[in-house]
Structure 1
């Protein structure tokens, strides 16, 4: 972990992006206990002619404007300001793969996917251009494909903060901006507008369809020259299966003259609509066609397995320090960060001390408890089952700690919407609790069983369970105890439903 705290609130964790102008970090928002992304920009590394003070002023203005744009395909801006010599921008942390990596993993990119990505980008650009804001640096590295298949655009407004004169070369000979995606008018230092982003969209679509940008070269100036003077290669020359209307649209977007491009992002979207994939088309993990095939639908296989583990929050093995840090974080309400630290230290601790060592057992128990506190029941469940199995082998099925692990696992199943599995687990636990020293836990398990019987549709069995529970609760605690009163209300509610 970096340990640096920005604005007394955002603790930097891991670098996830780096360039000549700054870095992007994963970080923790200590005030709201959430994961965020923090972009740090160094004004002294930007346009010297513009001046650091002007860059700071422009940065604040652009952040204020871009934060007003709300769209599901646009990364949310949470905060911005100055910290020491750095300007910082705090954004929503987006899970998934950036479009450049996504393309590399699925090359050749299905043309239907390219259409789906472009259509989603048009929806974002239409919202952004209505403000109006011009992105200026639309490229695959600034686009994320989330596990749900939605496309999220990053770095809105950042290019305009760095420098409005995108053709000016730095001392390294590289232009400010991304030459491969730069519109001719932008390369020439002319006025930019929504049409500039449409050109970048055309470059991006050409890359998705052909596997390469239309204009490449060994130097930035060479690339810019080709943007200005060379016609792009039609994509059907490389992939004949691409529909002619799609090739024609890409060529229109890549027109040298902005007036020859589509009028706006809405027009591009309408041109793409007939080419969007039909329902029933083949999909796959991180499939960008999914939002059009099944809008907002849950993944059918997403509930079958826990989500991928988050990257470890600490690269070094210091179990004692990690435990102390977790205790501090939990005391301050930092559950999310505590989860990451525990998840990061567990594999290393198991490798060093052994999977069944006391230190690993303690860490795994804390990890499972913290995951439950964080509402991450799917990740907590396998940890609890592992703990229960180990404890059963060591101390037997009736051991209080074994029963607690299994009880917590049953709670996870309840929260995950698995009533039949949770019911089976509670029923297996009940005999141990009924013969144990804690009658309150036995009553609690019985009430949960009754509720789950209702959830699986066995109302008759649930009624019998509640009736028996009411009788035993009144005998043990009296008729006015909260448990008895609650069960009585539940039975009355059932009677009202069955006898209206």
Structure 2
């Protein structure tokens, strides 16, 4: 680790630390050759004598330098140089007196929608230029959005970016990006493109307005990735004129999201007080046709990316279900307001599994619903999406999430969960079938 006053590469005199993150330490420094203040990022290589780790860090630095050389934009932090010092790679960047968006929200709380539109338009302009150059940022998040006192905003840290013809850290099977701001396709398969940056920017702006990411920020990374891969975000409450655009940016299907160029134009329109017409999605809604329950992938939502982590950290993620609950309460309802619920296990792993419950209304549809069942011995629910869970003793009740309360006749909706099982628990093979569904 370098220290204050050290001269890096015979040119950059380190002054004081101004930031620290997973990728390394950022210093304020003086370029003694050009007599200017710069920011120097010392990339982490704290892996002892692991030559492979050192090579990976150097590769990351070189990649960020090459990507930065292709992108010069007033709202992207400029990388001036890539140097090595004592076998440690350093990135030399423009110094921008600023605070990250995450620090700004921590200090002020959720920001007004109009202010978020202004800073979002600046970031979107830089990302649109990057996409035009074949560059995908891959880690758009509040910590990488820098805001100066005069409102100038820049996107930083292209360290895990991918440009056409460049390799990427994920070529080695490592998740690239910050979990709370990953797109569904990144959480599910790791395959990303420009629409993934659109989603991540939408999640970042959602955080700026609501104070929390669209899928929460639980400490359980695996459960969070499963939720991102399969759930719908809660509609923003404070977004005002940005609400429709944010939901469009957060669409699950990458092909249905607006392009970054469209996002820039729409954010600019909102910032200037003009009307913004959000591009319509294809007719894909949260309600599903009867008999066509949403099919979740048979593999784990993060198969190939975190399946090994499930075993390595022994994470118990959820809870299981007992299907011998009587349907008497539901059967006692008038025919016009009945509903049915069907459970199926969509994934399983040692010590846990993932399930989906499809809710179908009777004739006339329903406005509001609640699914009830008893938990088998040794099963525990830890995460539910697209529903509101309540536990009463051994009984679990999941109500609608509000936005999916009304289900038309001939349609269906669904919620999902992850579950954990103890070694003595009933077999997961016994989970599945009809559950009690109470309308209203």
Q: Distance in 1 between matches of 2:172 and 2:114?
A: 33
| Structure 2 residue 85 is matched with structure 1 residue 83 | yes
List gaps (5 residues or longer) in structure 1: 169-174, 280-500
TM-score normalized by structure 1?
Answer: 0.49
1:398-409 paired onto structure 2 within 5 Å: none
Contact 1:20-1:45 at 8 Å conserved across structures: no
The equivalent residue for 1:200 is: 200
CA drift of 1:31 comes to 0.8
Judged with a 3 Å threshold, the aligned counterparts in structure 2 of structure 1 residues 53 and 218 are, in CA distance, closer, same or farther, namely: closer
| Residue in structure 1 matched with residue 253 of structure 2 by the alignment | 257
CA drift at 1:111: 0.7
Which has the higher mean CA deviation after the structures are superposed, 184-193 or 119-128? 184-193
Return the match for 1:25 from 24, 27, 32: 27
Name the counterpart of 2:181. 181
CA gap of 1:195–1:159, structure 2 versus 1, over 3 A, is: same
Mapping 1:148-297, distance limit 5 Å: 148-158=150-160, 163-164=169-170, 168=174, 177-215=177-215, 216-235=217-236, 238-239=237-238, 242-243=240-241, 246-262=242-258, 264-278=259-273
Q: CA 1:2/1:71 → structure 2, altered by over 3 Å: closer, same or farther?
A: same
Q: Distance in 2 between matches of 1:217 and 1:146?
A: 29
Which of 91, 103, 123 is residue 105 of structure 2 equivalent to? 103
> For residues 80-479 of structure 1, what are the structure 2 equivalents within 5 Å?
80-158=82-160, 163-164=169-170, 168=174, 177-215=177-215, 216-235=217-236, 238-239=237-238, 242-243=240-241, 246-262=242-258, 264-278=259-273
Distance 1:58 1:156 in 2: 10
Distance 1:109 1:167, change over 3 A: farther
Cα pair 1:97 1:145 within 8 Å, conserved: yes
Q: What are the ranges of 5 or more consecutive residues in structure 2 without an aligned counterpart?
A: 275-440
Distance between the aligned counterparts of 1:252 and 1:129, measured in 2? 19
Deviation at 1:188, TM superposition (A): 3.0
TM-score relative to the length of structure 2: 0.56
- C-alpha separation between the residues in 1 aligned to 2:221 and 2:37? 36
For 2:248 and 2:263, the matched residues in 1 are separated by 10
Aligned residue pair count: 266
Q: Quick one: higher RCO (CA 8 Å, sep 6+), 1 or 2?
A: 2
Higher strand share: 2
Could you say if the C-alpha distance between residues 273 and 176 of structure 1 is closer, same or farther in structure 2, counting changes exceeding 3 Å?
A: closer
Q: Give the 3 Å change call, closer, same or farther, for CA 154–249 of structure 1 in structure 2.
A: same
Match of 1:59 in 2: 61
1:37 shift after superposition = 0.6
SS in structure 1 at match of 2:10: coil
The CA RMSD over aligned residues, in Å, is: 2.6
Q: Say which is worse superposed, 31-40 or 64-73, in terms of deviation.
A: 64-73
Following TM superposition, by how much is the alpha carbon of 1:82 offset from its aligned partner in structure 2, in angstroms? 1.9
* C-alpha contact (below 8 Å) 2:23/2:44 kept by paired residues: yes
